Amino acid sequence: MPNKDITIYHHSLSEFNNNRELVIGTILQINKDFASLGVCLPESLHDNVYQVIFETLRPLLEDLYEKQLEKFYGLMYIIDADLSKINNAFLKPTLSLAYDEITDLVIQREILKVATRIWYKNQNPAQGI
């Protein structure tokens, strides 16, 4: 279960859920990065978006780590996840907590990619990044 008090780059979870551009961009980014695993989140998610994303990715990441470690780390490379944070997650008292943290880290990284694109697009609207 994701951390209820999570702050996503200076925004609360509710602010993320209410920012349609960021939500849709994040869903599209996750669909792109997780396509090889068959993930296809609908763009029409409205309520508890972070929770739905979390509940979709969490079992996939756990299964991938436990059964296809090379693919797991390949996916972390594609996502550009901070491997030191991923590896530190396994210092948690239980594997369940470790997978929860890894899932949060992955989602936050995907959100950051989208938020960065949005920020640059707003800085240079003529370029349409």
Considering the entire predicted model, what is its pTM? 0.84
Is residue 6 situated within a structural domain?
no
Residue 115 lies in a domain: yes
Answer whether residue 44 is part of any domain.
yes
**Tens-place pLDDT, residues 108-123:** 999 999 988 888 888 8
In a domain, 60, yes or no: yes
- Is 92 inside a domain boundary? yes
Strands (E), the chain: 7-8, 11-12
pLDDT lower than 50: segments of the chain: none
pLDDT at 84: 96
Q: How many domains does the chain have?
A: 1
Amino acid at 37: L
- Which residue segment(s) compose the domain that 71 sits in? 11-123
pLDDT value of position 20: 87
**Residue 73, burial from CB neighbour count under 10 angstroms (0-12, 13-18, 19+):** middle
pLDDT attached to residue 106:
95
Residue 76 lies in a domain: yes
- The alpha carbon dihedral of 32, 34, 38, 41 has a sign of negative
Residue 19 domain-assigned (yes or no): yes
| Structural domain contains residue 65 | yes
What pLDDT is recorded for position 120?
82
**In this structure, are residues 38 and 64 in contact, taking their beta carbons and an 8 Å threshold?**
no
Residue 16 pLDDT:
78
Contacts of 76 (CB under 8 A, 6+ apart): 83, 86, 106
